[in-house]
Amino acid sequence: MIVIDNFLTDKETIEMLKNESTWKNFPRYNWWDGWWKIEPRNIMESLIENIWKKFSNVENRVAGFEYWSNLHINKGELAWHVDKDEKLRKEQQKFLMPKFGHVYYVKVENLEGGYLEISQKGISNPIVTEKTERIEPVENRLIMFDPSKPHRVTKIFEGTRRAFLANAWTKKPLTFTTSENINLDGDLIDAVWKEKNLKTDVSF
């Protein structure tokens, strides 16, 4: 895992990302084939290029990037889960997970709670929390980590927390077979894994 504070230095870019109008009508999940195939089409894809060129030699090694944003406010939280191909999980009960992802904290205001917690153990029911890393959300902080490990966002007691996230995939997820920009309905987060003998795989 890599944690870097004050990642962006361009104040105009930072302010644009903090402005909520930037995220208005932003689809729930998005796909980009990468800068080596398609020039960045928006500020989010430019940020992905900025991040991944610095820390990982992914050009022509991955199929592209899944990216999205989460906004958590008072009383919000995100249960234990792993990042995965959502459509594959729903249709075939299989878990295909990326190996590398990032979290970039766009905006943190008057925040109490909202920590990122990452279990160092694999999928289990219940989640093994004895070996857990806890990272404080700090504005303009970048975290590179393994999203195939169970992770969550702890309860927010006060304030606002917006994060921008992306995962690198070696194979384009089934989630994006019909469109690169989608909004999915329903609960797509598995807080616990009730199924037994799930076929799991990790991409990259």
* Alpha carbon distance 114, 185 (integer Å): 24
Tokens of 125: 């029911």
pTM: 0.86
Q: What is the domain range of residue 41? A: 2-203
pLDDT on residue 13: 94
Query: Which residues have a Cβ under 8 Å from the Cβ of 38 and sit 6 or more positions away?
Result: 32
Domain count, the chain: 1
Given this model, what pLDDT does residue 101 score? 95
Give residue 201's pLDDT.
41
d(CA 14, CA 37): 26
Which residues, 6 or more positions from 70, have their beta carbon under 8 angstroms from its beta carbon?
A: 78, 153, 162, 163, 165
Please, what are the averages of pLDDT over each run of 10 residues along the chain (204 residues)? 95 94 90 95 95 86 94 85 86 86 96 92 64 92 93 93 95 90 57 37 39
What is the DSSP secondary-structure string of 78-131? Answer: EEEE----HHHHHHH-EEEEESEEEEEEEEEEEEEE--EEEESS-S-SS---SS
| pLDDT at residue 199, as a whole number | 39
CATH of the domain at 142: 2.60.120.620
pLDDT for 186: 44
Task: Identify the pLDDT of residue 190.
Answer: 38
Largest CA distance in the chain: 49
